[in-house]
Structure 1
Amino acid sequence: MSLPPVKVLFDENRIAARNRELASEISAAAPENLLVIAVLKGSFVFAADLIRALHASGQN
């Protein structure tokens, strides 16, 4: 039995670009001591990508 093809809604590049945009917005508005907490099961991957993007945008 074969599975039906999966329709890709957002590709990897689009997600990464939006993640960088979010990091820039957070960096512009965030306090100096930003604390990021991943609360949903499985959200640690998104949180890790966001934290890396925050670090790249100058938020330490």
Structure 2
Amino acid sequence: MVVLSKLDVTVAYPLLSLGYVITTVIGYYFLNESVNTLKVAGLVFICIGIICVSKSA
């Protein structure tokens, strides 16, 4: 709720998608999960989408 009081919803909501990126990184480094090129490509697309939506707001 603190974030919503400081940022517009159109900027704050796409940042929730960073949870997928953070979860994958934590899983890779701390839980020894495998991360293949398809997963990395998906994470790149998520980051590109976050950037595009944030820039358009």
Q: Same fold (TM over 0.5)?
A: no
TM-score normalised over the length of structure 2 = 0.37
Write 1 or 2 for the structure with the bigger share of helix.
Answer: 2
Larger Rg: 1
TM-score normalised over the length of structure 1 = 0.35
Higher relative contact order (CA 8 A, sep 6+): 2
